[in-house]
Structure 1
Amino acid sequence: MDFSLSPEHEELRLRVRAFIAQDVLPLEKDPANFAEHENIPHERLEPVREKARKLGLWAPQSPKEYGGMELPMVAWAAIYEEAARSVFGPLAINCMAPDDGNMNMLRLVGTQAQKDKWLAPIVAGKVRSAFVMTEPAPGNGSDPTMMRTRAEKKGGKYVVHGRKWFITGADGASHFILMARTSDDARKGITAFLFHKDQPGWRILRRIEIMGPEEHGGHCELEFDGLEIPEENVLGNVGEGLRLMQVRLGPARLTHCMRWTGWSKRCVEIAQEYIASREGFGVRLADRESVQIKLGEVAQQIQIARLLTMHAAWMLDQGGRARKEVSMAKVHVANALHQAADVAIQLQGARGFSKDTIVEWLYRYARSAKLVDGASEVHMMVLAKFMRDEGQDFWAWGPGEGRRNAP
């Protein structure tokens, strides 16, 4: 189990690092680059994205035939982390949620015709996308079997009725992946569909205000009142929705972790720059043992986060499902990001609490990390179930090892 990068992937990592430092980080210094919802306006982002395309640093997760880099997941881990040195970095190279997870899902399960129509424009950066799953109570949250939005077969079409909410990126998205109930079967009752924003029969009820900052397109509540979806826009097979959710959400949770490790390191970087020159009572903050202990603890948690993330990525590259490895990474990395941002604020004092740095932006984002793509408590329940079912095999190193349930 060797997590060192190949020479090719190491060279790519360094190129991404240089691109972020030269072309993306400077954007954070201008308040005009933070739009109403605290993300970068498209007109300021697009020139940077165009340069990323020309440099060959574009869409690491996507097929080369559509302009992506088609890299293995361990390379994603290194590159996403470097991209996330800036809050705008993942957007700049087209590896930000929710497009990132949608591109990967379409790559894995779409037909060739679906990839040409629905995936290619997202990879090219011509359209944005959204994944439509979560519902208001009593509909589904973390438990997809509670889903109430229904798609009824009528002739050669499915007609959709229901309501969804907290749909990231919905305001401004053109391509949507919708999860809806097609039967009452406990395991085969949900199906994935593709639809375009211009199709009638649905609408955005509201853009839900959140603590922020927000991804492009916010978090919206949607209503479906007769949306018609032709059979050819069923993604995968009818009734495969639960399986396809895991195809998307497992890697998507892990790519969150890849970005969060980069943002965690940025928090530490900003804190270190400040304490290196700030003095109090005749002593530099960097020379105080209490400060060193805080930073040492954060550094340790970030490194554990990176190793958990890379291990899960390696497991997926080996063909494993890595469900418990992804859950471990998701919980720990969310906590590490929150700790890194909190310590960076504390060490800077009032400056950390202000908008003079992007640490407060990251602190607010970090709080959502414990909720998105499954609350931490749900992932802990997943781990407990694996421990109960696997016994000593829970601690196996690789995807094919220790699965014989030996006494």
Structure 2
Amino acid sequence: MRPEYEEAAMDYHIPAHVEDLRAAIARFVEREIVPCEQDPACWDAHDNIASGALESLRAKAREEGLWCLQLKPETGGRGLDKVGMAVCYEEMNRSIFGPVVFNSAAPDDGNMMVLEKAADGAQKERWLKPIVEGRVRSSFAMTEPHPGGGSDPGMMLTTATRKGDSYVVRGRKWFITGAEDAEHFILVARTSDDERRGLTAFLFHREEPGWQIERRIGIMGPEEHGGHCELVFDGLELPADRILLGEGMGLKITQMRLGPARLTHCMRWLGLAKRCTEIADEYAKNRFGFGTRLADRESIQIKIGDLAMGIEVGRLLVMKAAWALDQGSFARKEISMAKIHVANLLHKAADVAIQINGARGYSRDTPLEWIYRYARQARLVDGADEVHQMVLHRHFASEGWDFWKWPVTP
């Protein structure tokens, strides 16, 4: 072997401490959370885990050191990097109720990570610490109804107008995840017409006057805690110390918040896709028809084998993007590829698993119908498929053949 090939440039091993956490999460999910899925008393009216059951499980997760793994130790977490998060989040979401138990579910997950990076000391103490401790929930208010900003934040119409040492907010937001149960909010509003520095991120509390939840928007469901709401701002007044990172830095906040959040969605969705495959495989091994076990039919083997391959492709895309983030890259191309593939994979996994399970899959005897309804949003949230495909075309148009270039070890 030539000397330059003696040391491998790629290493797919994970650190021992990450494997220990993954195994502990797997045991916790199997022992504590999956049984909760099967107990009607654990469900709330919006097809999510009820608050009583959630708080009990959260207390156990804290006791076992499985709380807020994604945050730095000084913030209250275990200091996992993005690669470690990919391993652990996938394991958490073997259960439909998993991530929220470990305080690793959207929108709190992304809000905590952006506040950890962007907030100053006083802001972390007031706005971040209570979320980390599980005492409050949070929400990120950016998306607006037509003709306002959606995937394109440059179209944002909600304004924050300077008034002495304060800012007065007027406008409308919608599909704001978790708003009904949230106490702490991150709000993005327009402070000028500058193309790059026209948006600013603010912090506010639900009890402050000058805004209201107009409605909780009914969706195909199931719903996150606090639903998806339409908010109206008609004079919310915020002091200047509520600005996050600085005036005009709102676009940067959205980039810091949404890039990693898209990837953490993918990490969790891989766990759900694996659960679908697990349920399908288990049923096929035990169901007989016309003298033959389903698992012995070539058509079923092809379906399950194709899902297994699709999941592994998704894991590789997620891991590459996670690694790139850990190296300091924005990983926009890598995250877009992972987002498109895993969102579509999740929908396919639920659909195939329902088909293999037949009427059982369509019923509520398994979580498959829950996952199927949930999966349809995956191709829309945090940028629709088509938006990410345009992002990839933009990269290809500028990079050409280098679109597929391998990074070279120094």
Decide: shared fold, TM above 0.5: yes
CA contact (8 A) 1:121 1:127 kept: yes
Which of 369, 375, 378 is 1:360 aligned to? 369
For residues 46-85 of structure 1, the aligned pairs below 5 Å read: 46-85=55-94
Distance in 2 between residues matched to 1:368 and 1:138, nearest whole Å: 21
Distance in 2 between residues matched to 1:57 and 1:199, nearest whole Å: 34
Secondary structure at the aligned position of 2:74 is classed as helix
Per-residue deviation at 1:397? 2.8
Secondary structure at the aligned position of 1:66 is classed as coil
Distance in 1 between residues matched to 2:113 and 2:93, nearest whole Å: 19
Per-residue deviation at 1:277? 0.8
Instruction: Note if 1:136 corresponds to 2:145.
Output: yes
Instruction: Note if 1:392 corresponds to 2:401.
Output: yes
Identity rate, percent? 60
CA contact (8 A) 1:59 1:123 kept: yes
Which of 241, 263, 277 is 1:232 aligned to? 241
Equivalent pairs counted in the alignment come to 401
Per-residue deviation at 1:117? 1.0
Instruction: Note if 1:153 corresponds to 2:162.
Output: yes
Distance in 2 between residues matched to 1:180 and 1:314, nearest whole Å: 32
Distance in 2 between residues matched to 1:223 and 1:235, nearest whole Å: 21
Distance in 2 between residues matched to 1:83 and 1:378, nearest whole Å: 28
CA contact (8 A) 1:3 1:310 kept: no
Which of 334, 337, 349 is 1:328 aligned to? 337
Match of 1:196 in 2: 205
Amino acid at match of 1:169: G
CA contact (8 A) 1:66 1:124 kept: no
Match of 1:120 in 2: 129
Amino acid at match of 1:80: Y
Match of 1:377 in 2: 386
Distance in 1 between residues matched to 2:72 and 2:125, nearest whole Å: 11
Distance in 2 between residues matched to 1:397 and 1:227, nearest whole Å: 49
Distance in 2 between residues matched to 1:203 and 1:397, nearest whole Å: 50
Distance in 2 between residues matched to 1:52 and 1:397, nearest whole Å: 40
CA contact (8 A) 2:269 2:342 kept: yes
Distance in 2 between residues matched to 1:363 and 1:349, nearest whole Å: 14
Match of 1:8 in 2: 17
Per-residue deviation at 1:401? 7.7
TM-score by length of 1: 0.97
Instruction: Note if 1:92 corresponds to 2:101.
Output: yes
For residues 250-269 of structure 1, the aligned pairs below 5 Å read: 250-269=259-278
Distance in 2 between residues matched to 1:50 and 1:327, nearest whole Å: 35
Amino acid at match of 1:180: A
TM-score by length of 2: 0.96
Amino acid at match of 2:257: R
Q: Deviations over 1:208-229 (max 9, x none)?
A: 0000000000000000011011
Distance in 1 between residues matched to 2:305 and 2:32, nearest whole Å: 30
Match of 2:6 in 1: none
Match of 1:221 in 2: 230
Per-residue deviation at 1:70? 1.7
Per-residue deviation at 1:66? 3.3
Amino acid at match of 1:109: A
Amino acid at match of 2:71: S
Match of 2:3 in 1: none
Q: Which runs of 5+ in 1 are unaligned?
A: 403-407
Instruction: Note if 1:247 corresponds to 2:250.
Output: no
